[in-house]
């Protein structure tokens, strides 16, 4: 199935950190702004801080909540993975991104690969469905997006703090660029990111260019 590009939008960027303080300090040092408190996800045993990035997009800093009861299922965004935990132990990282769609059920059924199962979640007055893999893994190590459908209006970014930071671009650096492009095309996401080739020996990563009050900065 071919998706119309207006169906899908870049929803948010996910910075994973070993602790929220570590993540807050990282955003402050990188973007020059103090990212405000968000909330807790009881189902996932995580908590976050959030801020607007313009164009109904936002930035999320997420970490395992040490005060929460351990969830019955693996946490999202690979946060239970030993490899992810080791990667963020010394410094937070731009781990993955999330795409907003208007029909998550249809998207997951027609993607041609496993995006996960649409799962209903809520926090405070926010309600949404997100496609979650059974084992909580990242999709293509975070290079492909988690997919979400909001059941709250307006978009939740409208209620977040505007700290004069605007996302300009998101780039996937990958040593199999054609494969990534094919997957992005299959879910109607190719217009949301740029894809750049990497040498075969290098590890794929994401890079986000953001305009800030102190000039253009890069999260990677």
For CA atoms 141, 139, 113, 188, give the dihedral sign: negative
Domain boundaries, the chain: 5-161
Q: Domain 5-161 belongs to what topology?
A: 2,3-Dihydroxybiphenyl 1,2-Dioxygenase; domain 1 (3.10.180)
Q: For every one of its 220 residues, what pLDDT tens digit does the chain have, with 9 covering 90 and above?
A: 444 446 899 999 999 999 999 999 999 999 999 999 999 999 999 999 999 999 999 999 999 999 999 999 999 999 999 999 999 998 999 999 999 999 999 999 999 999 999 999 988 888 999 999 999 999 999 999 999 999 988 999 999 999 999 999 999 999 999 999 999 999 999 999 999 999 999 999 999 999 999 999 999 8
How far, in Å, CA of 201 to CA of 197, rounded? 12
Contact by Cβ (8 Å): 144, 184: yes
For CA atoms 123, 126, 132, 137, give the dihedral sign: negative
How far, in Å, CA of 154 to CA of 173, rounded? 32
Q: How far apart are the first and last CA of the chain?
A: 32
């Amino acid at each position: 199935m071919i998706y119309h590009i207006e169906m899908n939008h870049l929803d948010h960027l996910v910075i994973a950190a070993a602790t929220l303080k570590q993540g807050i300090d990282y955003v402050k040092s990188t973007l020059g702004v103090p990212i405000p408190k968000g909330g807790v996800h009881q189902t996932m045993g995580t908590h976050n801080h959030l801020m607007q990035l313009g164009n109904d997009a936002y930035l999320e800093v997420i970490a395992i909540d040490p005060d929460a009861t351990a969830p019955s299922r693996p946490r999202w965004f690979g946060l239970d993975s030993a490899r992810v935990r080791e990667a963020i132990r010394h410094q937070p990282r731009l781990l993955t991104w999330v795409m907003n769609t208007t029909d998550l059920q249809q998207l997951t059924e027609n993607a041609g690969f496993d995006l996960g199962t649409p799962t209903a979640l809520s926090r405070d007055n926010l309600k949404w469905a997100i496609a979650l893999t059974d084992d909580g893994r990242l999709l293509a190590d975070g290079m492909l997006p988690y997919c979400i459908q909001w059941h709250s209006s307006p978009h939740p970014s409208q209620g977040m703090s505007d700290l004069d930071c605007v996302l300009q671009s998101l780039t996937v650096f990958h040593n199999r660029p054609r494969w990534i492009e094919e997957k992005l095309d299959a879910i109607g996401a190719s217009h949301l990111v740029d894809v750049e080739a990497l040498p075969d020996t290098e590890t794929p990563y994401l890079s986000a260019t953001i305009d800030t009050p102190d000039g253009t900065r890069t999260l990677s």
